[in-house]
Chains A and B, each alone.
Chain A
Amino acid sequence: MSEQQPVLVRVFLTFARNSLVREMTFRTNFFIQCVSAISWTLMNLGFYLIIFHHLNRKPLADGSGWQQNEFFVFLATTWIVFSIVQAFFMPNVQEFSELIRTGNLDFVFLKPIDTQFLISFAKVDWSALANFVMGILLLTVGVWRLTTQSNNPLSLNLANVLLYWFYVACGVTILYSLMISLAATSIWLGRNQSLYDFWFYITNFSRYPMEIYARSWGWSLWGLFTFVIPILIVINVPARILARPLRPEGPWLGLPLSGFAILATLVCLVISRRVFSLALQSYRSASS
């Protein structure tokens, strides 16, 4: 019986291949999208270069250890995580809302394959991976400079690198869970534009080292975005594991946070799965 199930990996590869074939038929468009993604990214880098120019070798937040090279690792991680989300999930979630709006969602239910899988992976926006490449470049520059600096050079081993990618995967999963849950609510609310904005503005909080929130009422934001909507750990945990801005780390920044990140990933995944199936259930009972 089990060999009757579709092989998800092979289905996904077919999806990815089809998306690539499609993007290659509109090559100019693909190129423009790559360039535009990279330009925004470079602008982002420019902004921080200006800030670090004024910081004059001081860290981004007092006593946090996020100096320019450490922060390059952080910024690179942001680009890597968000480019993966952008490439693999964003087009699908947008398509999902569109399917709900046009009523074409029905077709998805007919296929003998997991509905959430089909909706989450049907398309790949290959051009978004341009920023993945940018991220790898900046990551290399940051890590290279950190490991070769004369003052207290960073030493990395294979375990650090593997852990880094593991937590990048966790971060992507958390963002995916948040995104699919938000998209699923458009079954109830009927429109998605404000939801898309909401996603953008909420995830914006995750793009900064969490130390910047560690003051006055920022603590409540820190609590909210670490424990309720755990987007602060998406970038912070992997970037911290690789760049190690503080050696040794503070009490809550080390092992407890890394352990919590795994728990948060699992909980997010389970919740999003529940929200998704609940939304579909209500779609099926509510539509004609």
Chain B
Amino acid sequence: MNVIELKQLTKTYRVYQKKEGLLASLGGLFQREYRDVNAVRGIDLTVAKGEFVAFLGPNGAGKTTTLKLLSGVINPTSGTAQVLGYVPWERKNAYRRRFALVMGQKNQLWWDLPANESYRLHQQIYRIEPAEFTRTLDELTGLLGVRELLRQPVRELSLGERMKMELIAALLHSPEVLFLDEPTIGLDVIAQHNVRQFLKQYQLERQTTILLTSHYMKDVAALCERVVVIAHGQIEYDGSLAGILDRFSGHKIVTLAFTENQMPPDLTPFGEILEVLPPKVKLRIDRNVVAEKLASLLSQHSVEDVSVEEPPLEEVIADVFSRATRSKEA
């Protein structure tokens, strides 16, 4: 069953070009100059129940706009979308009770109050049964290890603790679909790890459908089987994380350790030399000739150790983005 279905979803908005000076800004009251920004241009996407999908893309690629469209915060310019059978921008209460949006850079808890009080407000707004509320809250605070922080004003919490509290607020009504926009942004490594572990376990238990955007490849690698790469408002890739490498990276990284003083003077016939630290050499070799080159290397030279690695994911993806930019400019 598909939980999310997008067809040719497009969002264009206008930015008012503000002019300097009094006369110009007075003139701006009557005649304004606009610039059209195509944030999302024709996205097709289907997500099945229980999938954990990552949205990758550079800033301004349209990730957040897509999440906002899906949560019904903004209206699309054209195209259709269905989430749990609802059109998000109709903003039916029945729909709004079944999903949640967490934005890493925004907080929705009352700053000066203990998180507990904000949760109670959520209970009223989402009409969560008292028994259900207590049980869910207990479970979530247990999983995140923040039970003793419930009575502390939010402003006194660390960034990581606050993010955990935000997550709890979003999950109290047990949403079936969860949108996470940069949930680990600005957190230290340990807090990032904790949040990640929590999301993984939570998703495993509840089979919640989750869409996540993140800048941290570790988030993506740890959590999502499926990756959607967005650049310039369009989907560039949709598939497994490993598939990105197959598709976009034509190389492997081969590191060779030669026997003492046996390093050949010229290795250029085998591949592109990335780094030489005698007796070690790092080569970039075309994916489809790796086996053949390695065989001839091992037969011609005395090699003590070999490792074959995929290129770093960050680099490959950065490469995909810059390629998308180039093709757009061309």
Contact residues in B for A287 (Cβ distance below 8 Å) = 13, 74
| B106 adjacent to chain A (CB < 8 Å) | yes
Query: Which of B91, B120, B127 counts the most chain A CB atoms within 10 A?
Result: B127
Are A22 and B110 in contact (CB-based, < 8 A)?
A: yes
Task: Of the listed stretches A1-9, A54-62, A247-255, A258-266, name the one at the interface; the rest are far from the partner chain.
Answer: A1-9
**B107-151 CB contacts (< 8 Å) to partner A:** 108, 110, 112-113, 117-118, 120-121, 124-127
Against A, the Cβ 8 Å flags (1 = close, 0 = not) of B278-299 are 0000000000000000000000
Q: Is the interface of B mostly helix, strand, loop or mixed?
A: mixed
Q: Is the CB of B117 within 8 A of A21?
A: yes
* Given contacts A15-B121, A103-B106, A288-B13, A110 and B74 within 8 Å (CB-CB): no
Residues of A within 8 A of B103 (CB): 106-107
Complex interface residues of chain A between 257 and 281 (CB less than 8 A to chain B): 281
Cβ of A152 within 8 Å of any chain B Cβ, yes or no, is: no
Q: A112-B126, A113-B125 are in contact. Are A22 and B112 (CB under 8 A)?
A: yes
The answer to the question of B1 belonging to the interface, with a C-beta cut-off of 8 Å to chain A, is: no
Contacting pair A285 B74 (CB below 8 A): yes
Decide: B125 and A111 in contact? CB cutoff 8 A. yes
B89-104 toward A: CB 8 Å interface, digit per residue (1/0)? 1010111110111010
A110 in contact with B101 (CB, 8 Å): yes
Q: Does B197 contact A (CB under 8 A)?
A: no
B76's nearest neighbour on chain A, judged by CB, is A285
Chain A CB within 8 A of B68 CB: yes
Interface range for B: 35 or more
> Known interface pairs A284-B75, A288-B74. Does A11 touch B124 (Cβ–Cβ under 8 Å)?
yes
Residues on the A chain within 8 Å of B14, using CB: 286
- Distance of A213 Cα from B108 Cα, bound (Å): 47
CB of A109 within 8 Å of the partner chain: yes
A215: Cβ under 8 A from any B Cβ: no
Q: Is A14 an interface residue (CB 8 A)?
A: yes
Check if B72 is an interface residue, CB within 8 A of chain A: yes
Q: Which of B39, B68, B125 contacts A112 (CB 8 A)?
A: B125
**CB of A18 closer than 8 Å to a CB of B:** yes
Pairwise interchain contact A112-B96, C-beta atoms closer than 8 A: yes
A104 contacts the other chain (Cβ, under 8 Å)?
yes
B204 within 8 A of A: no
Query: Which of chain B's residues 16-60 have a Cβ closer than 8 Å to chain A?
Result: 37, 39
A267 to B106, CA, bound (A): 37
In whole angstroms, how far apart are the Cα atoms of A123 and B78 in the complex? 37
| Given A109-B73, A288-B74: 15 more A-B contacts, CB < 8 Å | A14-B121, A17-B117, A18-B113, A18-B118, A22-B110, A22-B113, A25-B153, A107-B108, A109-B91, A110-B73, A111-B96, A284-B73, A285-B74, A285-B75, A287-B74
Would you give 30 A-B contacts (Cβ < 8 Å), ordered by A?
A: A4-B94, A5-B127, A6-B127, A7-B124, A11-B121, A14-B120, A15-B121, A18-B113, A21-B113, A22-B110, A25-B112, A103-B106, A106-B68, A106-B71, A106-B103, A107-B106, A107-B108, A110-B71, A110-B96, A111-B96, A111-B125, A111-B126, A112-B93, A112-B94, A113-B93, A285-B74, A285-B75, A288-B39, A288-B64, A288-B65
Closest 4 CB pairs of A and B: A112-B96, A112-B93, A112-B97, A106-B73
